[in-house]
Amino acid sequence: MRAGASTRRVVHCMGTVFSFDVRAPGVNDAVLDDAAWLLHEIDETFSTYREGSEISRLGRGELRLADCSPDVRLVLDECERYRRITGGYFSADAGGSLDPSGYVKGWAIERVSNLLTDAGATSHSVNGGGDVQCVGDAGVGTPWRIGIADPRAAGKIATVVAGTGFAVATSGVEQRGAHILDPHTGQPARGLLSLTIVGAHLTEADVYATAGFAMGRQAREWVQSLTGYQAFAVTEDGGTWSVN
Amino acid sequence: MKRILLALVGTVAGLAALLSFKTHSGLTGGAALPAASLPSSAPSSTSGGASAPSSSAPPKPGQSSAAKTIAGQAIQTRYGVVQVQIVVSGQKIQNASFLQLTADDPRSAEINSQAGPILLQQTLSAQSSQIDGVSGATYTSDGYLQSLQSALDQAGIK
């Protein structure tokens, strides 16, 4: 452990693994239970793998949007807003069916992080499948340091993000194969091996990582147009670029 | 194989091969990087054999006495050996870390001066104890998953 005491919890949910890392001041187990419960609750509502989820029922036309829970309406509104912001590169139906999971995971991580903050955990990180929200510092005077996995070689770190209170999201080809589709072509996005977006809040950082990855070679110029974000990319030809 | 992607957080077992590190005075926010604690050269991890290294992480505070530490199989990949270790309490994974990873070749690059979070253009191995977590997908590679799954199987976690 690098600094200070730490309480960890690992939760399997949404087909991936979430981990909470709470530094001093800590919280009791009941808070971590609540955080885990929140993830499962979100999954119940938004999973496209659960036939009975609101999203599945909505997608099949068995449920009207007006009858959906406020969370579902909020998420779909946000997906639409980000679709416009990203010129269509972020989409809740890139694969041809309703699937807002590209928004939901980051949003879920940020909600868990907010829950932990509200419970008094002013220094913690929440990692969901490689997307991380850090709050406060890792220890007194010690910033969080999050390694960015190098898609060119397993187990290597391409760079490190260090700081106080930030979010880092990485989209790449390796996680579950080439799973990010270019909504404009319906084909797997090309040009980048991974794109990391660093910002204040994970929900938006994650959306931008997904959209930017789908843009491929055009991502760099687009990321430069964003304010409040930094980026790091590994390109298909093995090179890297960063935007600070 | 069960499709499990494990988030890697914090205490990572030994083997740091921190090969290149340049600090930059532009770091802001009063948060000095612990550069002084970084070894200028560290023993590199095993890059060939599949035997478990002898280094071990210090015991973690708050870890219940019922917690078990289980090492997964060492999996040979095209990049080298990947071996995962998990700490299990009951049916819960409390922590996961690499016991073995491919050693990295040294590279160095400039660090950009920037307020807020900083992308440090440095190279170091994932197993460095100087990292609190990992963003990205590579650590979910097949070798990692295989080793992890074997550890989960040993732990009886479904």
- The model's pLDDT over A146-165, given as tens digits with 9 standing for 90+, comes to 888 888 876 677 888 888 99
Q: In this predicted model, which residue has the larger pLDDT, A209 or B26?
A: A209
Q: Do B133 and A125 touch (CB under 8 A)?
A: yes
pLDDT of residue B129: 43
Q: Where are the alpha helices (DSSP H) in chain A?
A: 29-46, 54-59, 70-85, 101-118, 202-215, 219-224
On the question of pLDDT at A39 being above 90, the answer is yes
Give residues 2 to 61 of A whose Cβ lies within 8 Å of B: 2, 5-10, 12, 15-19, 21
Q: Do B135 and A132 touch (CB under 8 A)?
A: yes
Q: How far apart are CA A36 and CA A40, in angstroms?
A: 7
Examine the predicted complex and report whether its ipTM is higher than 0.90.
Answer: no
Q: How confident is the model at residue A137 (pLDDT cuts 50, 70, 90)?
A: very high
pLDDT band, very low/low/confident/very high, at B11 (cuts 50, 70, 90): very low
Mean pLDDT, rounded, for B56-67 = 52
Distance separating alpha carbons of residues A125 and A31, to the nearest angstrom? 14
Quick one: residue A101, left, alpha or beta (phi over 0 = left, psi -120 to 50 = alpha)? alpha
Q: Give A 116-135 residues with CB within 8 A of chain B.
A: 125, 127-132, 134
Residues of A within 8 A of B131 (CB-CB) are 145-147, 157, 160
pLDDT score, position B95: 65
> What confidence category does residue B32 fall into, taking pLDDT thresholds of 50, 70 and 90?
very low
What CATH code is assigned to A6-243?
3.10.520.10
The CA-atom distances, in angstroms, between A14 and each of A38, A69, A131, A164, A208 are 12, 19, 13, 28, 20
What is the residue-averaged pLDDT of chain A? 89
Does B119 contact A160 at a Cβ distance shorter than 8 Å?
A: yes
Label the pairing between strands A240-243 and B133-135.
Answer: unpaired
**pLDDT higher than threshold 90 for residue A70:** yes
Residue whose C-alpha is closest to residue A108's, from A196, A32, A14 = A14
Judged against a pLDDT cut of 80, whether residue A62 lies above it is answered with yes
Give the whole-angstrom CA distance, residue B131 versus residue B48. Answer: 24
Look at residue A165 in the predicted model and tell me its pLDDT. Answer: 94
Is residue B85 over pLDDT 80? no
Summary mean pLDDT of chain B? 47
